[in-house]
Amino acid sequence: MEKAEITKLIKTEAKKLGFQDCGIAPAGYLDKDAAHLTGWLNNNMHAGMNYMKGHFDKRTDPVKLVPGARSVISVILNYYPPEVKNDKKSPQISKYAYGIDYHKVIKKKLKKLLEIIRGFDETVTGRFFVDSAPVLERAWAARSGLGWIGKNSNLINRKYGSFIFIGELIIDLDLEYDNPAKDYCGNCTKCIEACPTGAIVADRVIDANRCISYQTVENKGEIDNKLKKKMGNWAFGCDICQDICPWNNGIKPTGEPDFISRKEMLEMTRDDWNKLDEKRYNKLFSGTAVKRAGFSGLKRNIAFLEK
């Protein structure tokens, strides 16, 4: 099968699986991204995410992850929920956490896509990744033409905005490649100006120490008191820099059934959040990304907002 034909089939099958778009880039060393990552780490902007220091070679070169890698297939999946909490006075969770944990949803689809590719050519080997492995997913998505990395460091797609998940499939097969996407942020600085904690310290540079998402999801210690009264009502994650982005105006909600908001989560009041016990927590957030914070972490976040 010719490269053009199999490339077209891969993209067609990716969309059949529910992905909004699929782009492909040649596997190779990410020199500019490696330099950016080095500077970010050296300035301790990774906060407590020490895992970001690990596997640097694999993080910047896909061939280290998949020997013989030739192509990096990137996919995006819209997760913008049809409904979000209307009670803005109660604790809020990021839009990506309303449905089933995206890792499970996307990995299942990517596994199927790899099986389909092997159906075309049984000699193909590869691995799929979703966020939890040392892969610079936004860099690869941008290289494959699926969008550009905005000033808030999120991937932005012209049609689907930034409320999108990214997945990668790295394979040892030559394909036809897409051109990198153009940057359409222009002179806009709305995301930088909107961040209440000043976490966007420079264009495309996020200081995790100040980031609400880091503090409420990844941070396993105490929340920095300097952020008190600056976090709004965010109990898990934060969408401020995305909600303000003009590219997210009028985007369509997701059609993925697993990402539909759970009614019980939408209806929680401030009192419900404050009275949340572990049994209720496990029932309410089972299978969702909120479980990453753990019960104690979520209760810590809620208590911090109340102080």
Question: Which residues are annotated as catalytic?
Answer: 131
Which CB contacts under 8 angstroms, 24+ apart, belong to 295-302?
Answer: 297/216, 297/219, 297/220, 298/235, 298/236, 300/222, 300/223, 301/91, 301/215, 301/216, 301/223, 301/234, 301/235, 301/236, 302/91, 302/235, 302/273, 302/274, 302/276
* Residue 133 near residue 66 (C-beta atoms within 8 A): no
Strands 71-78 and 155-156: unpaired
CA distances (Å), 27 to each of 72, 134, 174, in order?
Answer: 6, 15, 9
Q: Tell me whether residue 235 is exposed, middle or buried, using C-beta atoms within 10 angstroms of its C-beta: 0 to 12, 13 to 18, 19 or more.
A: buried
Write the single-letter amino acid at 43.
N
Q: CB within 8 A of 39, min separation 6: which ones?
A: none
Half-sphere exposure of 116 toward its Cβ, with a 13 Å CA cutoff? 19
Q: Name residue, tokens 């909107």.
A: 194
CA distances (Å), 107 to each of 68, 71, 168, 259, in order?
Answer: 22, 18, 9, 14
Cβ–Cβ contacts within 10 Å for residue 135, how many?
Answer: 25
